[in-house]
Amino acid sequence: MDDDIPNWKFGPNGSAVVGDTRLSADDVDRLRGIQFLTLYGTSVPDGFLDALPQLEFLELSGTASVACAPSLGGLTRLRGLAISHSRSLIDLSVISRLTALEFLDIYALSKVTALPPMGGLRALRHINIGQMIRLTDWTALLTVPNLESLELLNKLTPDEDVLSALSQRSMFKTFLWSAPDEADRNVERAINAAARPWPPDNVRIHNIWKR
C-alpha cells in the first residue's frame, strides 16, 4: 500500500488517516483492508464506506462528518464511531442502525438537539459527549440497554433526571464530566445525579481499538 500519497497516512496495524482531500471511487482499493479509518476535512462520495468491508472503527471530523453520516447505516461491523466538529450536521438517527457498535463519541456538533434512539444497540457500552451546546434531549441514553460508561466534556447541559435514572441501573458503572468552563455547582449536581465514580482512565476510540 502506497504510504506516500499526500494527506494520507497508513499505520502498521490496519489503520489509515486521510485529511483535507477529496476521495473518489478510485481510492476504494487503497482502503479496502483498513479496519480503523480517520477522515477529517475530507469529501467522500456516496457509497464509499459501504465498499470497505473490514471497517470496524471510524473517526469523522469536519467535512467528513457531513459527507459520511447519512450513509453509515450500512456499516454493520462498525464497533467504534467518533463524529466531531460539524456546524451543519443535525440528524444522528443513522446511529440507531449500527447494531455492532460498542463505543460512540460525539463532539462539537453544534446543531444537534437530540440523541438518537439506541434501543437496538445491545453491544454499546461507552458513550462520550462533548461541546454540544444545543443538545437538550438526552432521553435516548435511557434506551441503551447495556450502557456502562458515560463521559462528558465541557459545554453541555446534561439532563439530571436522565442521569438519576441511569444511576438506578446496575450495569451503569462510571460517570465523568470534565468541564473547566462550567460552573462548579452544575458539575456537582450532575455528578450527584449520576451517583457513579469517575473512570480510572478516559475511554477513547483508540482504547477500544487496541482490545
Residues of the chain with pLDDT under 70: 1-6
199, 151 contact by CB (below 8 A): yes
> pLDDT per residue over 153-180, tens digit each?
999 999 999 999 999 999 999 999 999 9
Is the CA virtual torsion 88, 93, 95, 98 positive or negative?
Answer: negative
Nearest to 75 by CA among 100, 107, 38: 100
Please tell me the pTM assigned to this model: 0.94
What's the CA gap between 58 and 205, in Å, rounded?
9
- Mean per-residue pLDDT of the chain: 93
Cell output for 156: 453541555
pLDDT value for 13: 86
Sign of CA dihedral 203, 42, 179, 116: negative
pLDDT of residue 210: 78
> What is the CATH code of the structural domain delimited by 8-209?
3.80.10.10
Report the pLDDT value the prediction gives residue 6, as an integer from 0 to 100: 65
What's the count of helices (H) and strands (E) in the chain, helices before strands? Answer: 5, 9
By CB atoms closer than 10 A (0-12, 13-18, 19+), residue 171 is exposed
Domain residue extents for the chain: 8-209
| pLDDT value at residue 1 | 43
